[in-house]
């Protein structure tokens, strides 16, 4: 029996859990390929126009997989953390797909909901095996094996990053599915790496720092990614020397509701302090890279110059070079 997993959205965080779970139970996982132009085109064709780019891309992955598998795994991530929610598009993802794409195989749509005090993991596990005729005890064991795989994966990523030393650093703020899908982000991370930068993301910053700075908002941020992005951004602004970053790039998707608030908030904070170069890059389904390349080049060049000539930096266009 084959279970199809679309390579999109929270695949970038939870795939080790899903893969271990179904493979431990004897199923074959069919993963859609890395995002490419034809997957994007399929997504644009099937998804509603108003959706953001990562959701459109997810539709493309589903369309690619639907005739190749017996079941499709489309999780609903209502909440990733106590007292918080995800974006409404992640909460309603299975319904979006079911109502936009025809001739789907049976859809497995468990709800991952860590919002309340009494989390019902058993309910989620049952939903993960609902159409599969599997013993719940076996499924529980497979689920906890999957959680262990996530822990190992996170630890590896954390260690690999924190042992790296680099003199040129940049903070790149973005949602994981935009950050780690190199087709969606037009290979931004690789481009920055080739320019000699070490890229820091929300996943490389300790929770304690993120929560401390996100806690400075007058009201609790109730979106998990919102908290992580705000916390990381404010941390970058306040402790830029300690972290050693030269600038901040906010990479957002056109039509993302969260980013329209968060990126603007971070930009205003930076304008008030005027202490770190910042750029917001907005991507959509257009695939021409020239616009993005030009902006990155201009931004990094400006950062380099500012680093060299900061004490003689004119805000009104006078020559920045020392006489
Ligand atoms: S948070 Fe933004 S980018 Fe992510 S699914 Fe929601 S609208 Fe799309």
Domain ranges, residue 107: 2-157
Same-domain check for residues 106 and 195: no
CATH code of 54's domain: 3.40.50
Residue minimizing CA distance to atom 5 of ligand 1 = 89
Chain centroid, CA 131 distance in Å = 30
Residue 323 confidence (pLDDT): 44
Residue 309 confidence (pLDDT): 73
Same-domain check for residues 151 and 207: no
* Mean pLDDT (whole number) for 192-215: 93
Residue 311 pLDDT > 70: no
Distance (angstroms) between ligand 1 centre and the Cα of 79 equals: 14
Percent of the chain with pLDDT over 90: 73
pLDDT tens, residue by residue, 31-88? 999 999 999 999 999 999 999 999 999 999 999 999 999 999 999 999 998 889 999 9
* Mean pLDDT (whole number) for 210-222: 93
* Mean pLDDT (whole number) for 210-221: 93
Q: Are 243 and 106 in contact (CB under 8 A)?
A: no
Same-domain check for residues 247 and 302: yes
Q: Which of 230, 258, 263, 280 to mutate to test the pocket of ligand 1 (most atoms within 8 A of CB)?
A: 258
Q: Total structural domains in the chain?
A: 2
Same-domain check for residues 184 and 149: no
Q: Return d(Cα 77, Cα 91) in angstroms, integer.
A: 5
Same-domain check for residues 250 and 271: yes
Residue 217 confidence (pLDDT): 92
Same-domain check for residues 143 and 178: no
Same-domain check for residues 140 and 6: yes
Same-domain check for residues 172 and 144: no
Q: Return d(Cα 174, Cα 34) in angstroms, integer.
A: 19
Q: Tell me which of 99, 132, 157 is where a domain ends.
A: 157
Residue 321 confidence (pLDDT): 53
pLDDT tens, residue by residue, 86-105? 999 999 999 999 999 999 99
Q: Which residues pair with 252 in a beta bridge?
A: 282
Same-domain check for residues 89 and 212: no
Is 258 domain-assigned? Answer: yes
Q: Return d(Cα 264, Cα 181) in angstroms, integer.
A: 23
Is 322 domain-assigned? Answer: no
User: What H or E segment, with its residue span, contains residue 111?
Assistant: strand 111-113
Q: Which two tokens stand for residue 310?
A: 């900061």
Is 318 domain-assigned? Answer: no
Q: Tell me which of 126, 157, 188 is where a domain ends.
A: 157
Give residue ranges with CB within 6 A of ligand 1. Answer: 52, 54-55, 87, 89-90, 175, 225, 253, 256-259
Q: Is 142 helix (H, G, I), strand (E, B) or coil?
A: helix
Is 84 domain-assigned? Answer: yes
DSSP letters spanning 1-23:
-EEEE-SSTTHHHHHHHHHHHHH
H-type alpha helices, 47-134: 53-65, 88-91, 93-100, 121-129
Same-domain check for residues 7 and 133: yes
pLDDT tens, residue by residue, 144-165? 999 999 999 888 877 666 666 6
Is 169 domain-assigned? Answer: yes
Same-domain check for residues 92 and 50: yes
CATH code of 264's domain: 3.40.50.11900
Q: Which long-range contacts (CB under 8 A, 24 or more apart) does 91-97 make?
A: 93/9, 93/55, 93/58, 96/47, 96/48, 96/51, 96/55, 96/59, 97/58, 97/59, 97/62
């Amino acid at each position: 029996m084959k279970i199809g997993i679309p390579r999109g959205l929270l695949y970038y965080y939870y795939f080790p859990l899903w893969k271990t779970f179904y493979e431990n139970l004897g199923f074959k996982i069919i993963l859609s390929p890395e995002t490419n132009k034809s997957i994007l085109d399929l997504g644009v064709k099937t998804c509603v126009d108003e959706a953001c780019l990562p959701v459109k891309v997810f539709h493309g992955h589903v369309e690619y997989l639907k005739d190749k598998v017996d079941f499709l795994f489309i999780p609903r991530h209502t909440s990733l953390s106590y007292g918080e929610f995800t974006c409404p598009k992640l909460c309603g993802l299975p319904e979006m797909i079911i109502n936009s794409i025809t001739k789907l195989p049976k859809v497995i749509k468990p709800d991952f909901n860590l919002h309340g005090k009494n989390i019902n993991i058993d309910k989620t596990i049952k939903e993960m095996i609902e159409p599969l005729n599997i013993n719940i005890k076996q499924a529980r064991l497979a689920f906890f094996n999957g959680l262990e795989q996530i822990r190992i994966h996170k630890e590896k990523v954390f260690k690999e990053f924190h042992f790296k030393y680099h003199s040129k650093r940049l903070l790149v703020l973005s949602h994981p599915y935009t950050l780690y899908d190199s087709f969606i982000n037009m290979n931004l991370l690789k481009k920055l790496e080739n320019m000699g930068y070490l890229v820091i993301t929300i996943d490389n910053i300790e929770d304690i720092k993120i929560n401390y700075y996100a806690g400075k908002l007058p009201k609790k941020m109730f979106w998990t990614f919102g908290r992580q992005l705000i916390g990381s951004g404010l941390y970058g602004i306040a402790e830029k020397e300690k972290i050693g970053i030269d600038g901040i790039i906010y990479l957002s998707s056109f039509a993302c509701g969260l980013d329209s608030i968060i990126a603007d908030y971070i930009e205003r904070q930076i304008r008030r302090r005027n202490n770190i170069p910042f750029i917001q890059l907005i991507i959509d389904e257009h695939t021409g890279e020239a616009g993005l390349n030009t902006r990155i080049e201009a931004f990094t060049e400006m950062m380099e110059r500012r680093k060299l000539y900061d004490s003689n930096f004119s805000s009104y266009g006078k020559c920045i070079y020392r006489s």
